[in-house]
Amino acid sequence: MADRIALVTGATGFIGARLVPALLERGWAVRTCGRRPRPESLPAAAKYHTVDLAGDDDLAPLLTEVTHVFHLAGASSSQSSEDEMYRGNVVTTERLVDAASRSETLERLLYMSSTSVYGEEVQLPSPVLEEMEPHPSRAYGKAKWAAEQVLWEADEAGAPVIIMRPVSVYGPGNVKLLASAILDAAIERFAGNQVLPVPATAIEQRLVHIDDIVRATMHLAVHPWSVGGAYNVVFPSYPTSHDVAEVIAGELGMEVELSDDPECGLDVDARGKTHDEMLAAGMAPDILLTKERFRFMRKANPNNRLSIDALLSTGFQFDDADLETGIRATIAWYQEHRWIV
């Protein structure tokens, strides 16, 4: 039997789908769960339990002999109602924590929260430290913060809790946020435009690559004194929307044009029509098409700058590759898999 046995919830999500094989490669025994039949994409070596984390199913069998819980499951803001977000984030966490409290083998309970807990309406001191009082302003951030409270109560009762707060995660396989912005640029190119219009107001971005998230997750899960801490996870470089647009446009053979019109570029109807043409040309429908063009890169946040001292103090180091290299590699992956054409 492996020395470390992991339970990964949300194993088919963007982060979970990369974490499970990474754990297996390092000799962990891995079990996962979900409400639906076993996903075909799940590695054969990972065990699978059909269970509803937010329902009435007994969760005790999931925790048998488990040493590490990686709780990644949760309803996202892009596709869920407020009630679904509460059930998928808070109720599942309550039930999982209750089951974990009776485990005799548990060494770590790691929860994947979000920097959305800090909110966007109340200005916090910059850079934002993990111990600052959050003021979540959106339903997703409120649900994540409520789930954190469940875990902090468990921490006070002696549970080995670790909380991670990543920013926008990008990389091969991602279907929203930066991926949607890349799709928007690909739509402009497919429509025959060689120039990519971008709003002239530069908005500072915060990103982290999926590989760094997976590495940070495994690092904190076994670090000797990570228990009881919350950790912001963001690449220590903050490009602007113009910087990101330049990388995307360059990779697609386009040039950026700054516009004083915040609604520059193809309108929603033209984008939808072009998107349909791209699908007819063989593009996979995986990346989410948002109603607002470049929505991800137009969201200013007064709490954008985050401290990562807590994470760095554990000895974690981000990958040497810079953001430009990561974004270019991601676009190349989308092209190879025909997520953009």
CA 296 to the chain's CA centroid: 13
pLDDT of the residue at 77: 66
CATH superfamily membership of 5-166: NAD(P)-binding Rossmann-like Domain (3.40.50.720)
Amino acid at 96: L
Question: For the chain, what percent of residues have pLDDT higher than 90?
Answer: 91
Closest Cα to residue 295, out of 142, 186, 176? 176
Per-residue pLDDT tens over the stretch 19-74: 999 999 999 999 999 888 999 999 999 999 999 999 999 999 999 999 999 999 98
Mean pLDDT confidence for 153-176: 97
pLDDT of the residue at 82: 83
Beta bridge partners of 162: 110
Per-residue pLDDT tens over the stretch 286-326: 999 999 999 989 989 999 999 999 999 999 999 877 889 99
CA–CA dist 256, 242 (Å, integer): 8
Domain boundary assignment for the chain: 5-166, 170-206+238-299+321-336
CA 202 to the chain's CA centroid: 23
CA–CA dist 3, 291 (Å, integer): 48
Instruction: Classify 156 as helix, strand or coil.
Output: helix
pLDDT at 1 over 60: no
pLDDT of the residue at 322: 87
CA–CA dist 63, 182 (Å, integer): 40
pLDDT of the residue at 108: 98
pLDDT of the residue at 203: 97
Q: Grade residue 83 by pLDDT with cuts at 50, 70 and 90.
A: confident
Angle at 304 between CA 301 and CA 310, to 5 degrees: 150
Q: Which one is predicted more confidently, 84 or 67?
A: 67
Tell how strand 47-50 and strand 29-34 pair up: parallel
